Amino acid sequence: MPAFFLELFSEEIPARMQARAAEDLARLVGEALAALSPTGIRTFHAPRRIALAADFSAGIAESRSVERGPRRAAPEQALAGFLRKHGAVREELREEGEFWVLDRASPGIDAATLIAREMPGLLRRFPWPKSMRWGGTSGFTWVRPLRRIVCLIDGAVVGFDLRDGADDGHGLVSGNLSEGHRFMSPGAFQVTSCDQWVAELRTRHVIVDPAERRALVADGVKAIAGALSVVDDPGLTDEVAGLVEWPVALLGRIDAAYMDLPAEVMQVSMRVNQRYFALRDAAGQAAPHFAFVANIAADDGGAAIVAGNERVLRARFSDARHFWDQDRRQTLESRVAALDGVTFHARLGSQGDRVRRIVALADEIAPRVGADPALARRAALLAKADLTTGMVAEFPELQGAMGRYYALHDGEAAAVADAVRDHYAPKGPSDAVPESPVSVAVALADKIDQLTGFFGIGEKPTGSGDPYALRRAALGIIRIVTERGLRVNLAALLGGDAEVLDFLAERLRVQLRGQGARHDVLAAVLAIGAEDDFVRLLARTSAVATMLATDDGANLLAAYRRAANILRIETKKDGPHDAASEPSLFDLDEERALAATLDRIEPHIRNEIAAEAFGPAMTAMAALRAPLDAFFDKVTVNDPRQDIRRNRLRLLSRVTAATNLAADFSKIEG
C-alpha cells in the first residue's frame, strides 16, 4: 500500500496542546480519507510540528450506484428532497416503472488527487483550542504561524495550497521541505519518507517521538541530579518534553540565603515560573540545587545557561522571600475577618460565611472521628485564612501548605496547623488522605459543605462539566471514610440531603468500576435500601462478591434468576405470590427440603447481617444452592393443580426474599 506522510511545521506550539493536536490530526485524516482505508497510523508531536504517517490504498475504484427515488406521481417537494439529499439534478434521473431512479457512475480517483482535494479543508477546520491570524489579510488560522507543509505519497509530493477564493491562505503550498533545530541545525532539508524524516531530524537535533523525548528529559534530570533525588512531578516532565526538541539536562545551585524558605515555596516557585525540577537530599530535605532542561547543547557545556538561570532564580526567590516575611507579620487569626470580603460564590456568600459553616460541621464531626472538638473548631476557623496572604495570592497552589507554616509561626497546636494544611486533601487519586483525627474532621467538613452548598443551589455536575470540582470532593469524602475505616452516618452529616447521598453512592460505584471491582454488586446492595455507612456498605458488597465468585454462588445466582423469571411471568397472571407457603401442600421431598433449608438459614442470615458478619451470612445463603437445584430438577412449578402451583410459587418467592436480604440479585450482572 502507498505510504502517506504529512508534517505541519509551525512556530512553537504550546506544550499542553501538542498531544491533543496529534490525536485530532489522526482523527481528521481518518475521517476525511476513510475511503482510502488508512492503516498503521502513527503520529508525532514536538514543539514546532505535528505529523502523521499511514498506509493508504492506491485510490478509489470506479463504481456505479442505483438509488430508487419517489414515485413518479409523488409531489414535487418529495422529488426535490430526494435530489437535494443526493446532490443530483433532475436530468440525472430516469423512469423505471412507477418510480424515479438515480443511476450514477462514480469515476475512480487516485489517492494523491483525493488527498489534495480534502487536505485544505481539513487544515482550515483544525480544532485548536486557540488559534491566531498572522500577517497579510488571510483568514486562515493556526495555533501559531504555520510555515511549511510536507505532504507525500511514496515520496512524491501531493500538491495543494491553502487558498480559499480571494483568501491566499498565507501563500502556503505543500512540498517536501522541513527544518531541524532552530539554532543547532538551521535551514531546510528534503523529506522523502517518514523514516527518513525521523532519522534526518535526529541528525539535526530534533527528537520527534514524544515518548522518547519525555524519557530523555526524565532520565537526563535524574542523571544530572546524581546522589540527590528528584521530586516526582510527572506533569512538569510532560510539559518540559513539549518545550524542547533536543533535551539537555543541567544542574544549577541555589543561593544559601534562600535555603530557609519553605521547601514547598521553593518547589512551586521553580515549577511555575521557570519549569525547574526540585531536588531533595538523602534526608528528604530541600537540596541547594535545582535541575532544568535546556533546548540546546552549548559549546561551553551549559555554563552560561546555568549562570543565567541561577540569576533568574535568585530574583524569583527574592520575591518569595518578600511574601514570606510580610505574611508572618500578621497572625492567621487576625486574617479571618478579611475573609468576609472574599467572595466564595454569589449565592453561597463569602469565604467568611463558608468558614463559619465549616466550623459548625467540624464541631459536629469531631466526636464521630475521635477528634478534639475544640481543636477541630480552631483548625476550621483558620483553614482558609491563608487565602489573604501575599504568598498564596502569588502561588494559589500553596493554599493550605502556607497556612500550616503561618499557624506554627503563630504558636498554634501542631494538630491545628496540620489540619489547616490537610483539609484540602486528597486533591487527586494519588494523594494520601488526612491521618490525624482533627485533619479528618476539617477535611470532611470542607468537602461536605462544598457538596451540600452547590447541590442546594442547583449547581450540580453534568456530563459536560464539573466547574466546582464536586466529583473530586465526593471522591475525597469516600476515600477519607473508607481508607480510615470511619463508621459515620453520612446522611446525618449531609443534613438529610438524599440527593447528595445518592451522588456519593454513584461516585463510589464509579470508583469501584474503575478499579475493576464488582460495582454491580454495590448497586445490588444499595437497591435493597439506603445505606450511609460506607464502611459497612463495602464490607457487605465484598462479602456478596466473594460468595458469587464461588461455584455455589454462581449457581445460586443462576437459580435465583430462574425463580425470579418464573415469578415475574406468573405474577402477571394472578400474583402476587408472596404469602407464606403451606407445608401441608408440599407434594415432593424436594419442596420439603427447600422449605426446611429456608427455615434454618433465614434467621441465621438476618442475625449475621444485623451483626455485620457478612461473610458468615453469605456462607449460610450459599447453602440454598443444592436444595434449590434439586427443586428445579424434580419439581414442576406450574402444576395443573392450582393450589399446588400457588404454594410452589410462594416457596420461590421466599427464596428470592431470602437472597434479597443481602442484595437485590436482579441487579447483578453476568
pLDDT band at 150 (very low <50, low <70, confident <90, very high): very high
pLDDT tier for residue 220 given thresholds of 50, 70 and 90 = very high
Q: How confident is the model at residue 79 (pLDDT cuts 50, 70, 90)?
A: confident
Band (59; pLDDT cuts 50, 70, 90): confident
pLDDT at residue 431 is higher than 80: yes
**Binning pLDDT at 50, 70 and 90, where does residue 72 land?**
confident
Whether 629 contacts 569, CB under 8 Å = no
Q: Are 144 and 13 in contact (CB under 8 A)?
A: yes
More confident residue, 80 or 373: 373
With a pLDDT cut of 90, the percent of the chain lying above it is 87
Tens digit of each residue's pLDDT (9 = 90 or more) over 266-280: 999 999 999 999 999
CB 323 within 8 A of CB 389: yes
d(CA 646, CA 669): 29
pLDDT of residue 91: 81
Topology agreement, domain 333-485 and domain 546-667 = no
Q: What span, in angstroms and rounded, lies between the C-alpha atoms of 40 and 27? A: 13
Rounded to an integer, the average pLDDT of 508-535 is 90
**What mean pLDDT comes out for the span 629-649?**
95
pLDDT of residue 87: 81
Fold entry, domain 546-667 = Isoleucyl-tRNA Synthetase; Domain 1 (1.10.730)
* 452: pLDDT strictly greater than 90: yes
Asked if the model's pLDDT at residue 170 lies above 80, the reply is yes
For the question of whether the overall pTM of this predicted structure is more than 0.75, the answer is yes
Given this model, what pLDDT does residue 545 score?
Answer: 94
Q: What is the pLDDT of residues 548-597, one digit of tens each?
A: 999 999 999 999 999 999 999 999 999 899 999 999 999 999 999 999 99
Residue 65 has pLDDT above 80, yes or no: no
Query: If you search the block for the grid coordinates 516557585, which residue do you land on?
Result: 269
Residue 517 pLDDT: 87
Query: Is the pLDDT at 670 greater than 80, yes or no?
Result: no
- Average of pLDDT values for 329-357? 97
Band (pLDDT 50/70/90 cuts) for residue 428 is confident
Residue 524's pLDDT band (cuts 50, 70, 90)? very high
- What local confidence, expressed as pLDDT, does residue 1 receive? 81
Tell me the C-alpha to C-alpha distance, in Å, between residue 311 and each of 150, 353, 453, 600: 41, 44, 47, 81
3 state DSSP class of 6:
strand
Q: According to the CATH classification, is domain 333-485 in 1.10.3210.10?
A: yes
Decide if pLDDT at 530 tops 80.
no
Structure confidence at residue 64 (pLDDT): 72
Contact 350, 339 (CB under 8 A): yes
State how far the Cα of 500 lies from the Cα of 522, in Å rounded to an integer. Answer: 17
State the SS3 of 366-390: HHHCCCCHHHHHHHHHHCCHHHHCH
The pLDDT of residue 544: 95
Average pLDDT along the chain: 94
Q: Which residue ranges make up each domain of the chain? A: 3-59+111-203, 67-104, 210-327, 333-485, 546-667
Task: Specify the 3-state DSSP secondary structure of 632.
Answer: helix
